Structures are given as C-alpha cells and as structure tokens.
Amino acid sequence: MHTLTLRRSLLLAGLALTLGGCVTAPPLPPAPTTDEIVQMSKDGIPPAEIIQRLEESRALYPLKASQLAKLREDGVSDEVIDYMQQTLIETERMREAMRERDRMWMYGYPYYPAYPWGYWRRPYR
C-alpha cells in the first residue's frame, strides 16, 4: 500500500513539473500601424506615451526614408521617428552579432581549422 502512495506522489509531482513548463508569457499587445501612430500624434498623445506603446509591443518598422519623411509631414514627432529607427538599428546589430557568434562557434573559435578548410569558411557571405 505504501508503494502505491509513493508511486502516485511521484506521478503527480512529475505531472506538475511537466505542466509547469507549459506556462507561457502573456501575448504582446498588437503593434500599432503607421497610420495609427499618425492618428495618435494628431490626437495629441504625447510622444512618450506613443514610444511606450511601441516598446510594449516590441514593434519594428523597416521603413524607407520617404516613408519616414511622410510620417514627419503627417505630424509624428521626431522623438517617435528616432525611436522607430533606433530599435530597428539595434535589432539588426543584435542579429548580426548572433550570426557572427554562431559562425565563430561553428568553426571552433578561437582555433580555426587548418588548410584546406580555411578557404571554405564563408557560409554567410
């Protein structure tokens, strides 16, 4: 009888640990579109609040220079436009650093393979 209780306890503990790993983070709020950003600016919402909403949604805006100029013409503040550009730049820098890290790990950094392998080491270029 004692082993049955022990087995049940272990089974319940394992089940609790397994299901505990399934907990996910709450979903991010939807990223505002550029039209919504323009509308928020026209409605008089301060740039700090618009930037906070962009931060919460972790939005990225890969916009062309002409699109950024259009946002400026439509009344979006320089602070918001600068934030949109800065987050994109920082994200691209991080992605490049991760690619470089993976490339170095793949080839045994800091020890590179000997000839002839050194000539074939450019998978990302």
Phi/psi for 77 (5° steps) reads -70, 155
Contact criterion met (CB below 8 Å) for 78 and 51: no
**Other CB atoms within 10 Å distance of the CB of residue 83:** 18
8-state DSSP, 34: H
**pLDDT band with cut points at 50, 70 and 90 for residue 28:** confident
**pLDDT tens digits for range 55-92:** 999 989 999 999 999 999 999 999 999 999 999 999 99
Q: How many CB atoms lie within 10 A of CB 74?
A: 14
